[in-house]
Amino acid sequence: MLLGVNIDHVATLRNARGGVEPDTIKAAEICELNGATSITTHLREDRRHIKDSDVRMLIRTLKTNLNLEMAVTDEMQKIALEIVPHSVCLVPEKRQEITTEGGLDVAAQIVKITDFAKPLISAGILVSLFIDPVDEQIKASAQTGVQFVEIHTGQYSEKFGTSQEEAEFLKIKKAVTLAKSLGLKVNAGHGLNYQNVHRMHEIPGLYELNIGHSIISRAVFVGLPQAVKEMKDLVK
Ligand code: PXP
């Protein structure tokens, strides 16, 4: 499996003082040097962490792939078509949430998502939909013409180590199998950490894991190079 590192929280820390430290571009470079195969950033509508200037600089400096997480809005579509990242991951976005709470409701908006994705795909961008491990959402995603889905692992992560872990894990495993049978490539992420990530190896065919909070948190104690390296060792 490949490892995508989400560097949003480097920007969160930087923005706490409004200056330039820690440098998101340097952080991305360190992640790449220590095994990240892509760098993920979520350009939120309220720009609470990553800013437009970060994305524009990353697209120029990254040696690997930029995966741009974004909401399904005209503004974000315009930005993606301007900068042409390697991939975009479409996520639901609520202003008040602390982080992305649930998957995108693709089933309720198949036509909208299909139309939204079309110009992105035509521009050569890989499009992924961040969805819950639910059959209806996977089948709907396959109808939109996108190449990827990213399965939301938040519930599995939350229930890890409890009596509900197995049920949540099996939902993800089943979701990945279904998505692959429908011709989709499958990523996963949200809430994965150094303790719970190992079970993703029990799921054949997962392409990439996108992990942010646990890596940036661990970096506070051991440094970013080691934090990324340790996660890479667990993922590969
Ligand atoms: N994937 C998606 C679509 C996300 O929105 C996030 C959080 O920004 C992640 C992965 C990474 O989640 P975490 O920071 O919990 O590792």
Cis peptide before 22 (omega within 30 of 0): yes
C-alpha span between 78 and 28 (Å, rounded): 24
Reported as a single tens digit per residue, the pLDDT across 64-73 is 999 999 999 9
pLDDT at 219 over 80: yes
Q: How many CA atoms are closer than 13 Å to the CA of 187, on its beta-carbon side?
A: 28
**Residue 214 clears pLDDT 80, i.e. is over it:** yes
Nearest CA owner, ligand 1 atom 9:
190
Ligand 1 centroid–CA 99 distance in Å is: 8
Cβ pair 131, 138 in contact under 8 A: yes
Ligand 1 mean position, distance from CA 209 (Å):
10
State how far Cα 156 lies from the chain centre. 16
Gap between the Cα atoms of 147 and 231, Å rounded:
26
pLDDT above 90: residue 107? yes
For the chain, counts of helices (H) and of strands (E): 10, 8
| Structure-token pair, residue 180 | 């692959």
Q: How far is the CA of 192 from the centre of ligand 1 (A)?
A: 9
What single-letter amino acid sits at 99? T
> Which tens digit of pLDDT belongs to each residue from 30-81?
999 999 999 999 999 999 999 999 999 999 999 999 999 999 999 999 999 9
Q: How far apart are CA 12 and CA 44, in angstroms?
A: 12
Ligand 1 nearest atom to the CA of residue 190, by list position: 12
Q: What is the pLDDT of residue 94?
A: 77
The answer, yes or no, to whether residue 97 has pLDDT greater than 90, is no
Q: How many Å apart are CA 130 and CA 102, to the nearest integer?
A: 8
Helical (H) or strand (E) element with 132: none
Ligand 1 touching residue 130 (CB < 6 A): yes
Residue 117 has pLDDT above 90, yes or no: yes
Percent of the chain whose pLDDT exceeds 90: 96
Residue 10, Cβ neighbours under 10 Å: how many? 28
Q: Whose CA is nearest to atom 7 of ligand 1?
A: 190
Element (H, E) at 105: none
C-alpha to C-alpha distance for 23 and 58, rounded to whole angstroms: 11
Handedness of CA 122, 138, 7, 72 (dihedral sign): positive
Catalytic residues: 42, 69, 190
Identify the bridge partners of residue 149 per DSSP, sorted by sequence position: 129, 186
Rounded to the nearest integer, the mean pLDDT of the chain is 96
In this predicted structure, the answer to whether residue 22 has a pLDDT above a threshold of 90 is yes
Residue type at position 184:
L
